């Protein structure tokens, strides 16, 4: 079996791929976008499209669902899909894309679709070549560009496209879908665990499903298994470290920090992100002024780490500052 075939088989085993919506009617949380796309299907016509928004919000799925509803089950015959993060140079635009875009159409197909995923990773030269193709072959080919960061798409291409902005999925939609998947797969899951998955995924449905699958491989989908699956510390332990530091016990807080880093294999940036999440969560009862001061200092510590500062020294400095804040009451 070729490596390409192996990758395809692996993809089919992943729940995120297995439970991807196949039609526009199955997409949730993007009602306005779906309504606009359905009009294109009804009219059998559409402009060039630019799908923008955070990862895991349904951009690629919406493109496939649109093509499926437009052309039927054999829609892949009339769609060229390229991942622009891999094939992003001008040679690909001049060869693969140009050859597909100008090829003849069957009589019953109004146009073909070129889907460029992660188009924001395309080089500037490739984007300049693409803008010309979008004009020359608009009669027989429509382009769908997908980008997490639409600002990286050059203005001439943006002006040629109808822009669709996708938003992170709502909590109830994510949890509802995860519960349905658990029933389909016969997996036992706790409601608190599904809420934890949502907090971790931050509205990214693909990430949420993959976390669910990884946690299910450990047995029952519980809160502890969810955090084990993603390699994060349990929030309760992070809150405990913050409380110990604010109580004035620097060495106790440092011991707790070491346990978190050793037991969960966390990096310094991971610790800072989890502390940031906890200080704005409902389970840490501290004054508003103290939250603001901690958030301000966390930003400074995170910047230092990203710039290459020693993690242990920076985290010790963070705990020391928390101790001082606790002693003077914020």
Q: pTM to 2 decimals?
A: 0.77
For the chain, domain boundaries: 3-165, 171-230, 235-327
CA distance 163 to 32: 13
Those residues with Cβ within 8 angstroms of residue 225's Cβ, 6 or more apart along the chain or in another chain? 193, 215, 218, 219
Give yes or no for residue 2 having a pLDDT over 90: no
The pLDDT score that the predictor gives to residue 108 is 78
The pLDDT score that the predictor gives to residue 5 is 45
CA distance 313 to 198: 32
Tell which CATH architecture fits domain 171-230.
Orthogonal Bundle (1.10)
Give yes or no for residue 25 having a pLDDT over 50: yes
Does the domain made of 3-165 have the CATH classification 3.40.50.300?
yes
Tell which CATH architecture fits domain 235-327.
Up-down Bundle (1.20)
Q: What's CA 242's distance to the chain center, in Å?
A: 29
pLDDT class of 69 with cuts at 50, 70, 90: very high
**Residues 104-118: pLDDT tens digits?**
777 678 889 989 888
Between residues 7 and 49, the one the model is more confident about: 49
**Residues 290-328: pLDDT tens digits?**
999 999 999 999 999 999 999 989 999 999 999 999 887
């Amino acid at each position: 079996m070729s490596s390409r075939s192996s990758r395809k088989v692996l993809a089919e085993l992943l729940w995120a791929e297995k439970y991807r919506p196949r039609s526009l009617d199955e997409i949730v949380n993007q009602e306005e976008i779906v309504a606009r796309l359905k009009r294109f299907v009804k009219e059998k016509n559409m402009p060039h499209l630019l799908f923008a928004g955070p990862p895991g919000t349904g951009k690629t799925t919406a493109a496939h669902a649109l093509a499926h509803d437009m052309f039927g089950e054999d829609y892949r015959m009339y769609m060229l899909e390229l991942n622009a993060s891999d094939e992003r140079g001008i040679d690909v635009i001049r060869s693969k894309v140009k050859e597909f875009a100008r090829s003849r159409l069957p009589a019953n197909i109004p146009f073909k679709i070129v889907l460029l995923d992660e188009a924001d990773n395309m080089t500037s030269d490739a984007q300049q070549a693409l803008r010309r193709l979008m004009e020359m072959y608009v009669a027989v080919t429509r382009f769908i560009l997908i980008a997490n960061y639409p600002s990286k798409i050059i203005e001439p291409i943006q002006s040629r496209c109808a822009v669709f902005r996708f938003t992170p999925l709502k909590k109830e939609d994510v949890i509802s879908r995860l519960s349905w998947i658990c029933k389909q797969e016969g997996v036992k899951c706790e409601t608190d665990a599904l809420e934890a998955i949502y907090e971790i995924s931050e509205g990214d449905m693909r990430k949420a499903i993959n976390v669910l699958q990884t946690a299910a491989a450990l047995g029952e989908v519980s809160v502890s298994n969810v955090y084990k699956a993603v390699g994060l510390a349990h929030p309760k332990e992070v809150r405990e470290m913050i409380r110990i530091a604010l109580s004035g016990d620097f060495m106790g807080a440092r011991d707790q920090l070491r346990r978190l880093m050793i037991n969960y294999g966390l990096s310094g940036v991971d610790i800072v992100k989890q502390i940031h999440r906890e200080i704005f969560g409902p389970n840490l009862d501290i004054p508003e002024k103290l939250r603001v001061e901690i958030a301000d200092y966390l930003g400074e510590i995170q910047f230092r780490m990203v710039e290459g500062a020693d993690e242990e020294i920076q985290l010790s400095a963070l705990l020391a500052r928390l101790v001082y804040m606790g002693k003077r009451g914020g």
